[in-house]
Structure 1
Amino acid sequence: MPTESLVEIRGLNFAYDTDSGPRKVLEGIDMSFHKGKVVAIMGGSGCGKTTLLRLIGGQLRPSAGEVKVAGHAVHRMNTRELYALRRRMGMLFQFGALFTDMSVFDNVAFQMREHTDLPEELIRDMVLLKLQAVGLRGAAGLMPNELSGGMARRVALARAVALDPMLIMYDEPFTGLDPISLGVIGQLIRKLNDALGATSIMVTHDIQESLQIVDYIYFMSAGRVVAQGTPDEIRASRDPFVHQFVHAEADGPVPFHYPAVSVADSLLGGVRG
C-alpha cells in the first residue's frame, strides 16, 4: 500500500469503565488507512469494530495509544476542533438512519444547511447532483417510509458524501440488503471513493462483496488485529481464523459448541451443560 496515510492508529487500547472495573474492548491496535483507498475491518460481533469507528470520529477517547486523522491527534482535540474535523468526514450508519420526518432531498441537504452558509439555490443543485450519483434524483420528493431498503441505503450514502468528505466511514453498509441492492451499494462505495479521492473505512461482515471492492482488510478478534492483507492475500491465507471466516465454516478457532462437559457426562451422569 502507499506510504501516505490519512488515518494512523498506534498502540491503541480502549476499555469501558464498569462497576466491576475496566472492561477491555481494544488492545494493542496498529492500523493505517491510506489516502484514496477503501479498507475493510472485519471480525465477529463484539470484537470492537464499531468502537474503533467511534474512536476515529472522536466520540470516544482511547485509554492508551493514539488516533491521528490527517496528522492531528483526534483524542487531543477540543470541541471546536472536533466539530471542524467532522465536517470533513462522512458516515453511513447501519440501516441508513435517515431522518424519518424529512424528505429524501432534505436528508441529503441537512449537512449542507447545518455546516455551510451556501445559498439555497446552490444547495438544491448540489443535492440533486449527489442523488444523481446514486441513481435517485427522481426520488428527491419521497419520504423515507416510501423507500425500499436498498433505496434508503443509497440516500444515506448520498448524505454521507454531501460535503465531499476526505474520510468516509461505513458501519455494516450491506446489512439487510437483497443481492441486487448489495451489489449496487458495493459498487457505489468504490466509485464514489475514487471520484472524491477520499479514504473509506468499512466495518462489514460481508466477505464476498467486500473482497471485490476493497484494497486492504484488517481482521479483528477479541479486540486485537489477528490478520491483515490485500484481498488476494486474504483469499490465499492459511490462517485458521481467516480461513474459517472467509469460507463461513461452522467450526474452527471460533467453535460451534459453547464450552460444556462431555455429552456422556451430560446424558448419563445427569450433569447439566
Structure 2
Amino acid sequence: MVANSGQEALVDLRQVRFAYGDREILSGIDLTVHRGQVVAIMGGSGCGKTTLLRLIGGQLKASAGNVQVAGQDIGALNTGQLYALRRRMGMLFQFGALFTDMSVFDNVAFPLREHARLPESMLRDLVLMKLQAVGLRGGHALMPTELSGGMARRVALARAIALDPMLIMYDEPFAGLDPISLGVIGQLIRRLNDALGAASIMVTHDVAESLSIVDYVYFVSDGRIVAKGTPEEIRASKDDFVHQFVHAEPDGPVPFHMKAAPIGEMLMGEGAR
C-alpha cells in the first residue's frame, strides 16, 4: 500500500459544493485519488458520502466547484462523453444489486454484452476469468437466490471489474457481511485494485477492515472534510471526531443525547411541549 503513489491524480475534486434546493449537502470539498490508491470515505449516516460517489460518477452535478476524472471535467461533459467515461468506471452497489432473473454468469457478462462487441467464446472466457478472480468460477450457473450474502457481493465485484475499469467505486461494500466474508471482500478489493492498476474509492462505516487495506482516508461531517490521512495518521489522530468514530465511542462531537430541555423540567411537566 502507498500513501501517495506518485502517479496521476485520477479523481480530483476542488471546492465542490452540492445542494438540493436550499439544503446544502456538501460544502467546499477538496479530495484527490491517485491511480493505484485505495481510498476510504468515512463519516456518519447522511453526511454526504454517497453523494460524493454520485458526483464522481456524473449522476449528480456539482452546484459549484470542479469534479475531474481522468483529466475530464465531469460537469462539462455531454451525455455521450459521460457515458464513454463511465465505461471506464466500475461500481459495486450496496448489497450487490445483482439482476435476480439472471445467472451468475449472465450478471458478470452483462456489461461486456452492453459495451463490447465480442465473440461469445471470448466473452465466455473473460467472464470465467473474472469469476476465477473472486473464487466463484464453480458457481457460474447459479442464480442470485442460491448465493449467500458474501458470494453475491463477490459476484457483484466480478461484474464491477468486467471491463477492467480505471476507477472502481464501492458503496458500503462490507454491509451485512459475516466476519469471514468481510475479510474476503476487503482483500479482494485490495488485490484487484493492485492487479488492474486502478484506483478505488470506498464509502464505508467499517473502520477496522478499511484501515487494514486502504492507503488514505477522508472523514466527512456536516458536508465537509473534517480530517484526512493515512491509516497510521488516522489511528494516531487527536481530533475528537476521528477518535470517537474510530473507537466507536457513544458520546463526543456526535452527542448521545438529542438536544432537549433539562430532564428535571420535562419530568415536572414544564418542558414537555
Per the normalisation by structure 1, the TM-score is: 0.97
Residue 82 (structure 1) aligned with residue 70 (structure 2): no
Question: What letter matches 2:137 in structure 1?
Answer: R
Give runs of aligned pairs for residues 7-46 of structure 1, distance below 5 A.
7-17=11-21, 22-46=22-46
Give the one of 7, 10, 14 matched to 1:6. Answer: 10
Q: Secondary structure at the match of 1:152?
A: helix
Residue 271 of structure 1 and its aligned partner are, at CA, apart by 2.3
Cα distance in 2, alignment partners of residues 269 and 116 from structure 1: 69
Gaps in structure 2 of 5+ consecutive residues? none
Structure 1 residue 2 displacement after superposition: 3.7
Q: CA deviation at 1:272?
A: 1.3
Q: For residue 268 of structure 2, what is the aligned residue in structure 1?
A: 268
Corresponding residue number in structure 2 for 1:102 = 102
| Greater than 2 Å deviation, 4+ residue runs | 268-271
What are structure 1's unaligned runs of at least 5 residues? Answer: none
1:232 is aligned to 2:232: yes
Are 1:115 and 2:119 counterparts? no
Counterpart of 2:191? 191
After superposition, give the CA deviation of every residue in 1:93-143 in whole Å (9 maximum; x if it has no partner): 000000000000000000000001011100000000000000000000000
Matching residue's letter, 2:67: V
Distance 1:232 1:127 in 2: 37
Q: Deviations over 1:3-56 (max 9, x none)?
A: 521000001000012xxxx21000000000011000000000000000000000
In 2, Cα distance between equivalents of 1:229 and 1:26: 20
Q: Normalized against structure 2, the TM-score is what?
A: 0.97
Matches of 1:192 and 1:175, distance apart in 2:
19
Mapping of 1:239-254 within 5 angstroms? 239-254=239-254
Deviations 1:170-197 (A, max 9, x none): 0000000000000000000000000000
- Alignment partner of 1:153: what SS? helix
Aligned: 1:201 with 2:197: no
* In 1, Cα distance between equivalents of 2:116 and 2:27: 38
Tell me the secondary structure at the aligned position of residue 182 of structure 2.
helix
Amino acid of the structure 2 residue aligned with 1:35: R
Tell me what 1:57 maps to: 57
Q: State the AA in 2 paired with 1:92.
A: L
CA RMSD of aligned residues (A): 0.8
Q: Do 2:5 and 2:36's aligned partners in 1 also have CA atoms closer than 8 Å?
A: no
Residue 154 (structure 1) aligned with residue 118 (structure 2): no
Counterpart of 2:32, as a letter, is S
> What's the secondary structure of 1:238's corresponding residue?
coil
Query: What is the alpha-carbon distance in structure 1 between the residues aligned to residue 30 and residue 262 of structure 2?
Result: 40
**Does the CA-based 8 Å contact 2:101-2:143 persist in structure 1?**
yes
Q: Secondary structure at the match of 1:252?
A: coil
Question: How many angstroms apart in 2 are the aligned matches of 1:119 and 1:6?
Answer: 32
Alignment length (residue pairs): 269
The residue identity in structure 1 corresponding to 2:244 is: Q
